[in-house]
């Protein structure tokens, strides 16, 4: 499951966090892919983004920064 919402809400959030995505054409069964960036965001208890990384960053690097 991924981010859901109206097209405008998703576009606004994507711009806020500077992530890229694009809609693909649905398959015959109605399923579809959404290619997107692989950024990993860490949020604090107030919902503020505090760290950003990628899937190539190690867990120990995130733990160190936290």
DSSP-based three-state secondary structure for 12: helix
If one counts the domains in the chain, the total is 1
Q: Quick check: is 53 in a domain?
A: yes
Tens of each residue's pLDDT in the chain, 66 residues: 567 888 899 889 888 888 887 878 889 998 888 787 778 888 888 988 888 888 899 989 988 988
- Separation of alpha carbons 58 and 25, rounded Å: 34
Residues spanned by the domain of 11: 7-65
Residue 21: φ, ψ to 5°? -155, 165
> 33: which 2 tokens?
């892919």
**Cα separations (Å) of 8 from 19, 41, 57, 61?**
15, 21, 31, 34
Residue 1 lies in a domain: no
Q: Is residue 35 part of a domain?
A: yes
Of 57, 22, 21, the closest CA to residue 41 belongs to: 57
In a domain, 38, yes or no: yes
């Amino acid at each position: 499951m991924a981010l859901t919402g109206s097209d405008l809400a998703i576009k606004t959030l994507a711009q806020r966090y500077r992530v890229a995505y694009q809609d693909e054409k649905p398959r015959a069964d109605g399923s579809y892919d959404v290619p997107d960036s692989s950024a990993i965001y860490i949020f604090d208890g107030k919902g503020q983004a505090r760290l950003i990384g990628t899937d190539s960053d190690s867990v120990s690097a995130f733990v160190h920064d936290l």
